[in-house]
């Protein structure tokens, strides 16, 4: 039986660079992770298959047997991401099966480990793409038409038949419960030193808005300040207004991506496009935040004599995890803390279709989607033990 540090070390170098992990969906690095997963699963006697949506599944017992207990996560990363976001759930799942074997526990239900495709949406722009396709939460034709930044269509990048993309009701109906273990993306557990592992209560509603600012491109040296219609000013105000609106509501707002045209040092920009990512504990708070920002920005645009338009690119409702499963797992783990999260997950997609739960492993830095993301070997081992307890309870009793 492998221990956490040695199994982790065999995966960790794949896609690693000094600036963090680069494991785009279906890149060489992400494919190497999946090959690693296939080999590890087969070495444990599991049968491995990839579905029509590019998700890889490893099965202990009859994959078609029904009422399966499925765990897993994803291998893909954001550009320059941390090593734990995603892979920790899959490595922990493999080790949890080792623990079951060591304990002499025999599952009476099929147990599956899944590596979902394109969870981050970093390559094709749609987060949780593999799980959304599985669950029928995205139009397969829309997915088939997605292209990455180099113009490569999704089916080509993934090596998938476009006609095979889409809902997989039979597979979904065979899942009795889904449990995703994930690195915590925050410091709630780190603030409580007695708790290496927590249980998720909910995922905050969240969305992405594209903001298009237009003004008048002109000469930086000759255009009088009073004559300018500078969309960069309206944009800059927006960043500050979003930050303030979020702070006032204990919510989160981020402008992390911006594109400027023509992007020249000595030219007043003609246009700026920015993306607002906003998240809050409930939908009315989120709506209030975004309405507030957009109203303030419109007011500011009038003063700057610029124009602004906002387009919703995605909006995910609040996910409340199955209360029975959540409480059962929290009790099983000796009263583990129950906490909400602002981050989206495949478990959030699955939760609308099957009883679903999430375990979080303490992250001392709280950092995620960046190289500072971390977890100690001891806490990761505690996560494996917790997942093994959950699989024993759900699949072996």
Q: Which residues would be at the binding site for Zn ion (CB under 5 A)?
A: 85-86
Residue 87: CB minimum distance to Zn ion, A:
9
Q: Which is nearer to Zn ion, 85 or 230 (CB)?
A: 85
DSSP-based helix, strand, coil % in the chain, nearest 5: 35, 25, 40
Q: Compute the least distance from the CB of residue 75 to Zn ion, in Å.
A: 10
Q: Is 52 or 86 the residue whose CB approaches Zn ion more closely?
A: 86
172, two tokens: 């979904």
Q: How far is the CB of 86 from Zn ion (least distance, A)?
A: 4
The secondary element (H helix, E strand) that includes residue 328 is helix 323-332
> What is the smallest separation between the CB atom of 346 and Zn ion, expressed in angstroms?
8
Q: Which is nearer to Zn ion, 203 or 276 (CB)?
A: 203
CB of 153 to Zn ion, least distance (A): 25
Give φ, ψ of 160 to 5 degrees: -115, 145
What is the spatial distance between Cα 175 and Cα 327, in angstroms, rounded to a whole number?
20
Closer CB to Zn ion, 300 or 369, in the complex: 369
**Of residues 262 and 372, the one with the C-beta less far from Zn ion:** 372
Nearest CB to Zn ion, comparing residues 89 and 110:
89
User: 8: helix, coil or strand?
Assistant: helix
Phi then psi for 103, rounded to 5 degrees? -80, -5
Tell me the closest approach of the beta carbon of residue 331 to Zn ion, in angstroms. 26
For 161, the token pair is 């038949």
Q: From the CB of 77, what's the least distance to Zn ion, in Å?
A: 9
Which CB atom, from 203 or from 280, has the smaller least distance to Zn ion? 203
Least distance from Zn ion to the Cβ atom of residue 166, Å: 23
3-class DSSP assignment, residue 88: helix
Cβ(149)–Cβ(112) below 8 Å? no
In degrees, rounded to 5, the angle at the alpha carbon of residue 187 between the alpha carbons of residues 115 and 76 is 20
Nearer to Zn ion, 181 or 246 (CB): 181
Taking a C-beta distance cutoff of 8 angstroms, is the pair 144, 155 a contact?
A: yes
Q: Residue 193's CB: how many other CB atoms inside 10 A? A: 9
In the chain, the N- to C-terminal Cα span, in Å, equals 23
Burial code of 124-145, b = ≥16 C-beta within 10 A, e = fewer? bebbbbbbbbbbebbebeebbe
Report helix angle 377-395 to 323-332, nearest 10.
120
For Zn ion, give the closer residue by CB, 86 or 107.
86
- Label residue 188 left, alpha or beta by phi (over 0 means left) and psi (-120 to 50 means alpha): alpha
CB of 366 to Zn ion, least distance (A): 15
Structure tokens at 384: 């494996």
């Amino acid at each position: 039986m492998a221990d956490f540090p040695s199994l982790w070390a065999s995966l960790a170098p794949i896609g690693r660079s000094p600036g963090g992990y680069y494991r785009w969906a279906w890149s060489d690095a992400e494919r190497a992770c999946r090959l690693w997963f296939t080999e590890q699963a087969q070495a444990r006697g599991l049968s491995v298959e990839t579905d029509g949506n590019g998700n890889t599944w490893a099965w202990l017992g009859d994959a078609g047997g029904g009422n399966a207990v499925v765990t897993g996560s994803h291998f893909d990363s954001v550009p320059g991401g941390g090593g734990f976001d995603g892979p920790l759930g899959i490595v922990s799942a493999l080790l949890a099966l080792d623990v079951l074997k060591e304990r002499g526990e025999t599952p009476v239900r099929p147990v599956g480990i899944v590596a979902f495709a394109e969870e981050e949406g970093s390559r094709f722009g749609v987060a949780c793409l593999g799980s959304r396709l599985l669950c029928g939460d995205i139009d397969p034709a829309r997915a088939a038409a997605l292209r990455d930044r180099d113009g490569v269509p999704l089916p080509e990048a993934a090596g998938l038949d476009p006609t095979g993309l889409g809902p997989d009701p039979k597979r979904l109906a065979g899942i009795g419960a889904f449990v995703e273990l994930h690195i915590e993306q925050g410091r709630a557990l780190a603030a409580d030193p007695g708790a290496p592992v927590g249980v998720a209560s909910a995922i905050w509603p969240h969305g992405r808005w594209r903001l298009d600012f237009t003004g008048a491109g002109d000469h930086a040296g000759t255009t009088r300040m009073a004559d300018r219609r500078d969309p960069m000013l309206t944009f800059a105000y927006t960043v500050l207004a979003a930050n303030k609106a979020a702070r006032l509501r204990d919510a989160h707002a981020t402008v992390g991506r911006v594109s400027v045209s023509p992007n020249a040092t000595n030219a007043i920009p003609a246009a700026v496009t920015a993306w607002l990512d906003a998240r809050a504990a409930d939908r009315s708070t989120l709506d209030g935040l975004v309405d507030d920002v957009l109203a303030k920005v419109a007011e500011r645009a009038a003063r700057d004599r610029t124009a602004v338009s906002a387009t919703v690119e995605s909006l995910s409702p609040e996910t409340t995890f199955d209360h029975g499963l959540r409480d059962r797992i929290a009790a099983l783990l000796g009263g583990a803390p129950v906490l909400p999260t602002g981050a989206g997950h495949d478990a959030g997609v699955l939760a609308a279709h099957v009883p679903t739960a999430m375990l979080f492993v303490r992250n001392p830095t709280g950092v995620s989607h960046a190289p500072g993301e971390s977890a100690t070997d001891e806490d990761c081992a505690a996560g494996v033990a917790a997942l093994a307890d959950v699989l024993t309870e759900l699949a072996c009793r």
